[in-house]
Amino acid sequence: MAAPLLHTLLQPAFPDPVLDAQRSFRAALKALAEPGVVQGLRPAHAPSPLAGLAEASHALCLALLDIDTPLWLAPAFDTQAIRANLAFHCGCPIVSARQNARFALLDSSQLHDLSGFDLGNDRYPDQSCTLLVQLPSLEGGRRLAWRGPGIQREHLVAVPLAEHFWQERESRNDFPRGLDVFFLAGHHLIGLPRSTQVAFHGGA
């Protein structure tokens, strides 16, 4: 390991490691409980920026990852600074094979192919890989109707995603197995649990 070099890459994480991790976890929990509703993190409680990682992505990494959660990084995030800081603050192993990951950090260029990620099994569906998808924005895409648990009737959500993503997701959704997704941009996040149904066919 290039340990001496590592030192210069390390930087502080949450201003208040315990409470800010709890706040971020709470936001993630709410995001999955109310799919499609934008949740925000207060800048004062967000971690200092880490090159290439939005505040919300960084915060969720710090709140969710630890020694027991192997992480897969998309090439865009596979930088020395991100590797060093996540390994240091979270202690998470960084894996190169998708199927070994419990969390994956993706950008929009990866969404046409979600193959390889662990969908969990019927006994432990919770062991599936959770996707953290960083986007430039959470708006501006085609408005789609989201329905399902946590949504009273339907939410119209316009996360900018190509249709490929929805096809990929549908093809890997075999309840109770499936993928839970967080979309992250700036200080904001939206949750898309496997239980949410999204009508993406046809229409403009």
Partner 1 sequence: MTATPVPPAAGPVRNPEYDRARQHWIGVLARAHRDDFDCHEAALRDTDYQLIRAPEIGMALVRGRMGGNGAPFNVGEMSVTRCVVRLADGRTGYSYLAGRDKARAELAALADAHLQGAQQARWMSELIEPLAQAQADRRARQEAETAATKVEFFTLVRGEH
Partner 2 sequence: MYVAVKGGERAIDNAHRLLAKKRRGDTAVAELGVEQIRQQLPLAVARVMSEGSLYDEQLAALAIKQAAGDLVEAIFLLRAYRTTLPRFCASLPIDTSRMLLSRRLSATFKDVPGGQLLGPTFDYTHRLLDFSLLAEGDYPGPDVHGHAQLEPCPHVLGLLAKEGLIKEETDLGEAADDITRTPLEYPASRAQRLQALARGDEGFLLALGYSSQRGYGRNHPFAGEIRIGEVDVWLEPEELGFPIAIGAIEITECEMVNQFVGSTAEPAQFTRGYGLAFGHAERKAMAMALVDRSLRAEEYGEEIQSPAQQQEFVLAHCDNVEAAGFVSHLKLPHYVDFQSELELIRKLRKPSTEQAQ
* Least distance from partner 1 to the Cβ atom of residue 11, Å: 7
Q: List the single partner that 8 binds among partner 1, partner 2, none, CB under 5 to 8 Å by kind.
A: partner 1
Q: In what order do the strands lie in the sheet with 144-147?
A: 155-157, 144-147, 197-199
Establish if 68 lies at the interface with partner 2 (CB under 8 A). yes
Establish if 11 lies at the interface with partner 1 (CB under 8 A). yes
* Least distance from partner 2 to the Cβ atom of residue 3, Å: 4
Q: List the single partner that 25 binds among partner 2, partner 1, none, CB under 5 to 8 Å by kind.
A: none
* Least distance from partner 1 to the Cβ atom of residue 6, Å: 9
Cβ(120)–Cβ(178) below 8 Å = yes
Q: List the single partner that 89 binds among partner 1, partner 2, none, CB under 5 to 8 Å by kind.
A: partner 1
Q: Which of 87, 95, 145, 158 binds partner 2 (CB under 8 A)?
A: 87
Nearest CB to partner 1, comparing residues 76 and 94 = 94
Distance CA(193)–CA(204), nearest Å, equals: 24
Tell me the three state secondary structure of residue 23: helix
Cβ(15)–Cβ(44) below 8 Å = yes
- How big is the site for partner 1, counted in residues (CB under 8 A)? 14
To which residue do tokens 């969710």 refer? 64
Angle of helix 17-33 relative to helix 55-64, nearest 10 degrees?
100
